[in-house]
Structure 1
Amino acid sequence: MDSIQEASEKLKLLGDKTRLTILTLLKEREWCVCELVDILDMSQPGVSQHLRKLKDQGLVKENKRGQWVYYSLNVEDTPYIKSVLEFMPDSAAILKSLNKENISSVCN
């Protein structure tokens, strides 16, 4: 179980709209950095910075495949984060709200 300090640090990450969006998208499947760049209309370094913060707190894990890095959710040990994410919209709703329903991956 996390200490109050550890839980506070993890919950602070959810206060950022971009990081909350990333975590919510990761509920359903893993995503490549290049896909998140397209979805969020951010630079690759910007997205990577958000992902680094999430990874540093143990909320996401990465898997390198060739030149691409894929991220997946890692909240099994943090049920309070998992609970918050259960109340977030699904990926389809997020993509629709961002006008990104038909994104195509360039990572392959």
Structure 2
Amino acid sequence: MLKSKVDVDKAANVLKLLGDRTRLTMVAILKQRECCVCEFLEVFDMSQPSISQHLRKLKDLGLVKEERRGQWIYYSLNSQSDLYGLIENILEHVPVQTEKIKQIEKSNPTFRCGC
């Protein structure tokens, strides 16, 4: 499959955003499943506003999309983004986040927060 080229400035912005360990891990998790903020709280040692800030940066660049379900927002990778091919290429070099996903599923935060 031929993947389209992206503008150098856009690519630089993606690489800058994903140069942050937390955001790179979030994107790797979102490659496997959608998540709400309360689920990310289970795997990152940071506050809900900090997690939301990371997600906002990813959303502003179009890398993730959000879907409101009642009062909760679920995040997923934006496969319609012109940057999606670049994200897929980057994630080929990042370990699958199976342990973090197991951690989320074991603690079942969506049950507690009502997502």
Same fold (TM over 0.5): yes
Residue 27 (structure 1) aligns with? 31
User: Any gaps of 5 or more consecutive residues in structure 1?
Assistant: none
* Percent of aligned positions that are identical: 50
Larger radius of gyration: 2
Between Structure 1 and Structure 2, how many residues are aligned?
Answer: 105
In 2, Cα distance between the equivalents of 1:39 and 1:72? 17
Asked whether the 8 Å contact 2:43–2:100 carries over to 1, the reply is no
Residue 13 (structure 1) aligns with? 17
Residue 96 (structure 2) aligns with? 90
CA shift digits 1:19-43 (9 cap, x unpaired): 0010000011100111112221211
In 1, Cα distance between the equivalents of 2:17 and 2:79? 13
Give the letter for the 1:16 counterpart. D
State which of 63, 71, 75 in structure 2 corresponds to 1:67.
Answer: 71
Asked whether the 8 Å contact 1:39–1:103 carries over to 2, the reply is no
Give the letter for the 1:93 counterpart. E
Bigger CA drift: 18-27 or 84-93? Answer: 84-93
Asked whether the 8 Å contact 1:75–1:81 carries over to 2, the reply is no
Give the letter for the 2:108 counterpart. S
- 1:2: Cα distance to partner? 2.8
Q: What's the secondary structure of 1:63's corresponding residue?
A: strand
User: Any gaps of 5 or more consecutive residues in structure 2?
Assistant: none
TM-score by length of 1: 0.85
In 1, Cα distance between the equivalents of 2:46 and 2:79? 25
In 1, Cα distance between the equivalents of 2:43 and 2:108? 10
